[in-house]
Amino acid sequence: MTKAPRIEIPHGMDLTQNPRLNKGTAFTEEEREAFGLIGLLPEGIDNVENRLKRVMLQLSKKSTDMGRYIFLQSLYDNDRTLFYKTIMSDPVRFMPIVYTPTVGAACQTYGHIMRRPKGIYLGINRKGRIAEILRHWPEEDIRFIVVTDGERILGLGDLGTNGMGIPIGKLNLYTACAGVPPRLTLPVMIDVGTNNEDLLRDPLYLGLKQARVRGKEYDEFLEEFVMAVQEVFPRCCIQFEDFANVNAVPLLERYRDRVSCFNDDIQGTAGVAVAGVLAALRITGKSLKDQRFLFLGAGSAGTGIANLLSQVMHQAGLSIEEARARCHLFDIEGLVVDSRNDLASFQRPFAHKGEQLRSFVEAVEALKPTGIIGVSAVAKAFTQEVIEAMARINERPIVFPYSNPTSHAECTAEEAYKWSEGRAIFASGSPFPPVRIGDKTLVPGQGNNVYIFPAIGLAVYATEASRVTDGMFITAARAVAEQVTDADLEAGLIYPPLSGILEASVQVAVKVAEQIFKEGQARVPEPEDLELYIRSRMWRPVYKQLL
Residues comprising the chain, all counted: 547
| 130, 122 Cβ separation under 8 angstroms | yes
Q: Which of 509, 501, 497 is nearest to 535 (CA)?
A: 509
Strand partners, 425: 398
Beta bridge partners of 147: 188, 240
Contact 241, 152 (CB under 8 A): no
**Quick one: how far is CA 483 from the chain centroid?**
20
Q: What is the DSSP letter of 405?
A: S
The end-to-end CA distance of the chain, in Å, is 23
Q: Is 170 a catalytic residue?
A: yes
Of 23, 85, 118, 170, the catalytic one is 170
**How far is the C-alpha of 360 from the C-alpha of 372, rounded, in Å?**
10
Q: How many Å apart are CA 480 and CA 473, to the nearest integer?
A: 10
Which distant-in-sequence residues (6+ apart) come within 8 Å of 490 by Cβ? none
Residue 287 near residue 370, CB atoms below 8 Å: no
Report in angstroms the alpha-carbon separations of 158 from 99, 145, 153, 192: 18, 21, 6, 12
Contact 337, 325 (CB under 8 A): no
542 DSSP 8-state letter:
-
| Partner residues linked to 240 by β-bridges | 147, 263
Nearest one of 10, 290, 180 to 541, comparing CA atoms: 180
**Mapped to the 3 state alphabet, what secondary structure does 159-193 carry?**
CHHHHHHHHHHHHHHHHHHHCCCHHHEEEEEEECC
Catalytically annotated residue among 99, 174, 417, 543: 99
What letter represents residue 475's amino acid?
A: T
Q: E strands within 215-287?
A: 237-240, 261-263
Query: Rounded CA gap, 151 and 257, in Å?
Result: 24
- Please check whether residue 178 is in contact with residue 502, taking contact to mean a CB–CB distance below 8 angstroms: yes
Nearest residue to 196 via CA among 212, 180, 183, 185: 212
Is 99 known to be catalytic?
yes
Q: Are 128 and 224 in contact (CB under 8 A)?
A: yes
CA 243 – CA 222 distance, rounded (Å)? 12
- Beta-carbon neighbour count of residue 362 at 10 Å? 15
Inter-CA distances, 441 with 92, 436, 491, Å: 19, 4, 7
| 3-class secondary-structure state, position 1 | coil
Query: How many Å is the Cα radius of gyration of the chain?
Result: 24
Please list the residues that pair with 188 across neighbouring strands.
Answer: 120, 147
Catalytic residue IDs: 99, 170
